[in-house]
Chains A and B, each alone.
Chain A
Amino acid sequence: MSTKVVAPRKKRLSEGLTVTQKVFIRSRNGGATKIIREHYLRNDIPCLSKSCTKCQSIVVPDAKNELPKFILSEEPPKLSKIGKHYVVVDTNIVLLAIDLLENVSCFFDVIVPQIVLDEVRNRSYPVYTRLRTLCRDSDDTKRFIVFHNEFNEKTFIDRLPNETINDRNDRAIRKTCEWYAEHLKAYGINIILVTNDRLNREAVKKESESHGYFTKSLYEYADLLSNADEIKELIPNVDNYAESKELLPEDMSEIVFPEYYQTSRVMGGLRSGSLFQGNVQISEYNFLEGSVSLPRFSKPVLIVGQKNLNRAFNGDQVVVELLPETEWKAPSTLTLDSEHFDVNDNPDGQGEDDQFTNENSTTVISDKQRRLLAKEAINAQKSKKVQPTAKVVSITRRSWRQYVGQIAPSSVDGKTNGIQNVFVILMDKCLPKIRIRTRRAQELLGKRIVISVDSWPETYKYPLGHFVRDLGDVESTEAETEALLLEHDVEYRPFSKKVLECLPAEGHDWKAPAKLDDPEEISKDPLLPKRQDLRDKLICSIDPPGCVDIDDALHAKKLPNGNWEVGVHIADVTHFVKTGTALDGEGASRGTSVYLVDKRIDMLPMLLGTDLCSLKPYVDRFAFSVLWELNDNADIVNVNFTKSVIKSREAFSYEQAQLRIDDPNQKDELTLGMRALLALSIKLKQKRLDAGALNLASPEVKVHMDSETADPGEVEIKKLLATNSLVEEFMLLANISVARKIYDAFPQTAMLRRHAAPPSTNFEMLNEMLQKRKNMHISLESSKALADSLDRCVDPQDNYFNTLVRIMSTRCMMAAQYFYSGAYSYPDFKHYGLAVDIYTHFTSPIRRYCDVVAHRQLAGAIGYEPLSLEHRDKHKMDMICRNINRKHRNAQFAGRASIEYYVGQVMRNNESIETGYVIKVFNNGIVVLVPKFGVEGLIRIENLTDAAEDAVYDELEFKLSFKPKNSDKIREVHVFEKVDVQVRSVLDPVSSKRKAELLLV
């Protein structure tokens, strides 16, 4: 077979413009498509160096009639042996060391060839955006430019026969360097190509003797810098970097993970139904066990063991292959986490592991047999206890990001001060430890650090990463807060200048116009006459104490016909946040405000959230109002939506409002309105419950902070007052009314929220436990049936039992999600928990982006202003929904993690004995929930008994029997059992994570 390449044709179109063709083959779905692209070459692309005198004369203005800005300095940094230099980076350097490129103390005057930018975009979009930002915002300090080498006729090269695309691109980069070196020789500026690719560096040497530019590996380059030691520390850890002598052959271990399948096999297998694709979810109790939800299977398929997980991280998109029936297993009843697993593993070498010794037999199983196996597996899931298992054969998309963790002290060699390999234990316990190389191991001990994962070669037991930055001491509030924000991907940097420029120029002095027909005001805001003046209504707001971002207010008034006029007024955020502005973009990307115990990360800048939009009392504010006419039975007679201007008469806390309502002496109109609201809300709630709305529970607690020292003082379970539910009911009503209206106006793209019915498999375990232990049952036919059966789960001896069941049921429910109405059919819009057919979020636009979209759509629906295309495009709505769903979930987790941290801090000072409930029984431990602190913890068998091997675990009875310490009598612990536990907070020596340690008393 001879390889042949179509000779590219070049055609000169005009002076300085040549057209050529790019040919490539695209393999897709087994087919091969030949793709031809016309490619234009020009001669007016400047080098962008300030010292260059030639390029100034060739530049031409762009479409905006602006000339390109020359950025590279005429006095770039000098290196001792090389002199003045510009740096050219290659793709791998960007991908590996983007952190280093962003570092303010190295990498100045950097040329990024366009081909590198393209390659980076294909490999990692996040890195690409960072590089783009770096080039765009590179001011006088960093000076990064993109050189369009592919469009420059002097630097464009054709691909040669038998040349891989990577080789061709490397050659293009070298060509660029060569051109630059030649171009800038006259000005005494040298070019250094930084590349970690040894072959590339050798190619430079081969290509020409007098190529005129230098090539260095990242390590060598860092070595040349004046601040070399500091920079070298930050160099990423990859297998083949730097021929530095430290890398010993012993670093390679005998452990070999199975190789990933080739793309062709993966695609073929997926198509023929013998391989499956899904996201890995690592069990939170056992980091060596994961599961993959696959559309064809009714239950997630298990992946057991390190080798079968085959280097998959939690959340990675993977392709799996079913294992033969003989290897199917029941889910492990063991708990394992990476902190305690192989604690003594040496990060330099790697011990033998018997898991890896039993190689799979190499017999080939045909696709036909595999399909039969899959059928078998689906059946097995329905009936048997034994569950099909699978192994990961390919990773489609990595979920790698930056992780927070701390160095495992046991892996640090205290004697050396040189570079050493150490393990970093990540905060997320579903992830393995990461191996990093650092010189500062000693110094970083006991600190929270950010690391990033670089690679996980087959021959390494643990992934390789590198140190990014240090957050501060473990347990210091700043470090812990930042750590949990990072871990939950919460954007917490201050708002950028561009965002803040979108705010009203008046700042805090902004005032709502006194008169809506004032011509001067109308000229500023032509929509003003469409607003309704509701300043005469007796409106008040009810919120938690200390609330500053008040986004809702209410009023009620008796109408002459005996019905009630009830108004819900929501902060008019969209008056200030217009689509397409930087402010809107930032809000959309943050998605939601995040509430931590001691901190609030706003979705919108403070000025809007706590002042201009916030419906503060005694001042005029713009609002979006929903006005109903309700009859005495709280049925809607009529509903109306309008943008308005209001003046809140009072801002109550829940307690104040409750007191005011309860005080018989208060007979003013405002109080009467509040009493009417309360009465109506009770009726609304009853109607909702009758329809089958669920009353679920979660162990929510509140941490009280000492106001002076900001130290957490005590923990309290959140109390609910009638006024809480007053506000809640009307917000629900408003959300439902708005949902109907916007769905009516925009049937394809209305922003809605749904909550799917839980699949019965979710409740299987809980039901089995209830059946066995309490002879109770949760029915799942409808939300009404579920609600009723939850009401029946009562233990006369124990008041808390019902709440416990509710807490456990909550965990079996599906998560509610945002969606656009075109994504599902109407019956699937149903909100299961609230038992309504359609729902959205409208009432908190200051802190949720969904509400902002709903506001705009409602404004469009009532003809206030036309709806921007952004919210009428299914594709764009899909992107928005995806993002806010993710951000919403992350925000919840971050909030919970923050409470957990503070609860830990509170318990640090008060060790006590509390009542707990066993909620899960494992082979080697039990999980106990302590309602008072809302914490749950695993009690390991080692802490229950001295004779761990004598403990008996009864899977069917959910029972663990063992001999407690200092006792001869066998003790049995069942699930749901009420136990007394000693609660104290301990700092785990391995993970330096403080957590509640429970001990059975």
Chain B
Amino acid sequence: MTLSVAEKSYLYDSLASSPSIRPDGRQQHQFRPIEIYTDFLPSSNGSSRIIASDGSECIVSVKAKVVDHTIDDDLLQIEVEIAGERDDSLITESCTSLFNKLLRNIDIKKLQLTKKYSFKLFIDVLVISSNSNPVSLISFGIYSSLNCTSLPKLVSNFDDLEVEELPMFHDYDLVKLEVDPPLVFVLGIVKNNIFIDPAANESEVANNGLMISWINGRTIAPMRTFALNDTNTKGFSPKLMQEGIKLVERYAPDIANALQNI
């Protein structure tokens, strides 16, 4: 989105004023409306499709495979693909690495089948279109797809360390996967104000961006700052960061709750 100098200046001033005025009238903690559909891919174990009001859209599919966790202990693997970006582009790679790091916070005990075997989850993310930073969108997608993931039900014995057994599964029944996936929030900083979910025009004028991860009631690493645009980027006071964390800690449970109830 290209804004004229006048537009930028107007936007910046209104966002920087106290209280800040966002162009679409949102409050500091408010998200743009999103639409989420879950479990729409019949052959995956879990899936979701999420559409933001600006037309950004992302689909996530979760597939499971049985692996011997004594050999392969990397039980969660994420692939992110962003339409229009190369596989090795900065944004794709940073997203992939971010989420791979983030998902280490998931308790992989939940994926264990027997003493020897576990499910390995392959999470494929495809960002079909993005008009603002897609990280938050992706994280909601992953959250809701993991939330609706159901895995084959083990019917053989749990103890197979000494006397080996190949896992056998029920031919129809599935078991719901119960994990607490992390969420990532993107915040924009304009002067001394901080607000959640910057839209494209807000990003254009923001002095800085902040990414805060949250899991199960607390904020966690990784937490990083990043430039939302090439022109306006400046430093910001650490106070703002604390404010951002507080903001996330206050509103994230509601969001998680909302996503869980899909």
Contact = CB atoms under 8 A, between A and B. Distances in A.
A5 B43 contact: no
A493 interface: no
B64 A32 contact: yes
Given A6-B42, A32-B169, A262-B168, A268 B65 contact: no
Contacts of B42: 6, 9, 21, 23, 36
A580 interface: no
A5 B163 contact: no
Given A6-B42, A267-B165, A367-B162, A30 B172 contact: no
By size class, the interface of chain A is 35 or more
Nearest to B160: A268
Interface in A17-32: 21, 23-27, 29-32
Contact of A274 (B39, B65, B164): B164
A400 B169 CA distance: 29
B76 to A, nearest CB: 17
A267 B66 CA distance: 15
B163 A367 contact: yes
Nearest to B159: A364
Nearest to A272: B164
B164 A268 contact: yes
A3 B163 contact: no
Interface in B147-190: 150-153, 155-157, 160-176
B61 to A, nearest CB: 12
A269 interface: yes
Contacts of B161: 366
A365 B163 contact: yes
Contact of B172 (A5, A9, A274, A367): A5
Nearest to B151: A32
A538 to B, nearest CB: 70
A697 to B, nearest CB: 50
A264 B170 CA distance: 12
Contacts of B45: 34
Contacts of A271: 164, 166
A9 to B, nearest CB: 8
B195 interface: no
Interface string A31-52: 1101110000000000000000
A63 interface: no
Contact of A267 (B117, B155, B166): B166
Interface string A332-368: 0000000000000000000000000000000011111
Interface string A681-713: 000000000000000000000000000000000
B172 A264 contact: no
B172 A165 contact: yes
> Of residues B150, B161, B174, which shows the largest number of chain A Cβ atoms within 10 Å of its Cβ?
B174
Contact of A25 (B39, B152, B163, B176): B152
A521 B162 CA distance: 77
Contact of B166 (A4, A268, A368): A268
A24 B66 contact: no
A65 interface: no
A944 B176 CA distance: 73
Contact of A364 (B155, B162, B167): B162
A29 B167 CA distance: 8
Contacts of B157: 262, 264-265
A35 B168 CA distance: 15
A236 to B, nearest CB: 28
A149 to B, nearest CB: 19
Contacts of B167: 27, 30, 32, 264
B171 A24 contact: yes
Nearest to A9: B42
A2 interface: yes
A161 interface: yes
A1 interface: yes
A367 B173 contact: no
A535 interface: no
A162 interface: yes
A531 interface: no
A268 B165 contact: yes
Contacts of A25: 152, 169-172, 174
Nearest to A262: B156
Nearest to A369: B162
A271 B193 CA distance: 62
Contacts of A9: 42
A35 B174 CA distance: 13
A364 B175 contact: no
A34 B152 contact: yes
Contacts of B39: 6
B156 A264 contact: yes
Given A21-B42, A264-B157, A162 B152 contact: no
B163 A34 contact: no
Interface in B124-154: 150-153
Contacts of A5: 172-174
B164 A269 contact: yes
B173 A161 contact: yes
Contacts of A367: 162-164
Nearest to A25: B152
> Of residues A21, A31, A263, A271, which shows the largest number of chain B Cβ atoms within 10 Å of its Cβ?
A31
Contact of B163 (A1, A159, A161, A364): A364
Contacts of B174: 3-6, 25
Interface in B177-220: none
Interface in A151-179: 159, 161-163, 165
> Of residues B150, B167, B168, B175, which shows the largest number of chain A Cβ atoms within 10 Å of its Cβ?
B168
6 closest A-B pairs by beta carbon, nearest first, are A264-B156, A267-B166, A366-B162, A32-B152, A268-B165, A268-B164
Given A23-B172, A267-B165, A269-B164, 14 more contacts: A3-B174, A3-B175, A4-B175, A5-B172, A6-B174, A9-B42, A21-B42, A27-B167, A27-B168, A27-B171, A32-B151, A34-B44, A274-B163, A364-B162
12 contacts: A4-B176, A24-B171, A25-B171, A27-B152, A27-B168, A262-B157, A262-B165, A265-B157, A265-B164, A269-B165, A272-B164, A367-B164
